[in-house]
Amino acid sequence: MFGRRKKKDAAESAAGEAEQVVDTVDTETDEGERERVRLEPEPRPDGPWDDSEVREPGEGRVDLGGLFVPGVDGMELRVEVAGDAIVAATVVLRESAIQLQAFAAPKREGIWGEVREEIATGITQQGGVIDEVEGPLGWELRAQVPVQLPDGTGGFQVVRFVGVDGPRWFLRGVISGRGAVEPETAGLLEQIFRDTVVVRGEGPMAPRDPIVLKLPNDAQMVPEGVQQDAQGGSRFAGGMGQLQRGPEITEVR
């Protein structure tokens, strides 16, 4: 039996070896993909920060409980509500905005790679367009998301999905407006994302559970569209002390 196998045509043997090599490469590629989406969180020398890494998280930031959001001149802060819980905050700055939302994550596994793939799949299934690029905040998705325009016709909204894995948490940002269409103009929004502090807490949470936020003690809920007096008692210029409930940006899964 072994003698007959040795006498096989040389070309047939070479083909078999090539097939084995292909199988090996495919296996390694699959394993590489799995490793890519389950890597440990990378160092964050420029933020965003865990509350254990910042001595005074409330200095220059708005205390929303699960997030401390940097305050800058002229910004407007809106909260996003799911049921009775506040789960996200949106910073509006001139013609751009960034929605900030924090989630629980495994202790030693980053989830941003996996979440990116899920978001990309959901948007493309809806007919949208996705481009995965390495931007100022690391790997991000630049997307054209299908939307219905005010006149009832179909169109696209350009958004950027950014994210960073931290210790037992994941912070996602959704940049819209001019900062998405012209990413080079989004420097201040990107800095707000970097300087945000996440408060995960010590209690048990399932991975991907949203980290619930709260209103600051001196905040006032203002219906969307109501104009505010910019001379309010905010420590930041532009009347930022008034919080508005804004339209929730639905996560695409």
**Residue 27's domain spans which residues?**
2-37
For residue 90, count CB atoms less than 10 angstroms from its CB and return exposed for 0-12, middle for 13-18, buried for 19 or more: buried
Whether residue 66 lies inside any domain: the answer is: yes
Q: How many domains does the chain have?
A: 2
- Domain match, 16 and 89 both: no
Residues of the chain with pLDDT under 70: 1-42, 218-253
With a CB cutoff of 8 Å and minimum separation 6, the contacts of 99 are 80, 88, 89, 90, 173, 174, 176, 249
What pLDDT is stored for residue 161 in this prediction?
98
Q: Residue 251 falls within a domain, yes or no?
A: no
- Whichever domain contains 140, its CATH number is 3.40.1000
User: Are 104 and 223 found together in one domain?
Assistant: yes
Q: Which residue has the tokens 């007919």?
A: 127
pLDDT by residue (tens digit) across 158-173?
999 999 999 999 999 9
pTM above 0.75, yes or no: no
In sequence order, the β-bridge partners of residue 197 are: 49, 68
Based on the fold, state whether residues 32 and 154 are members of the same structural domain: no
What percent of the chain has a predicted confidence (pLDDT) above 90?
57
**pLDDT tens digits along 181-232:** 999 999 999 999 999 999 998 889 999 999 999 987 766 555 555 444 433 3
Asked whether 144 and 157 are in contact (CB, 8 A), the reply is yes
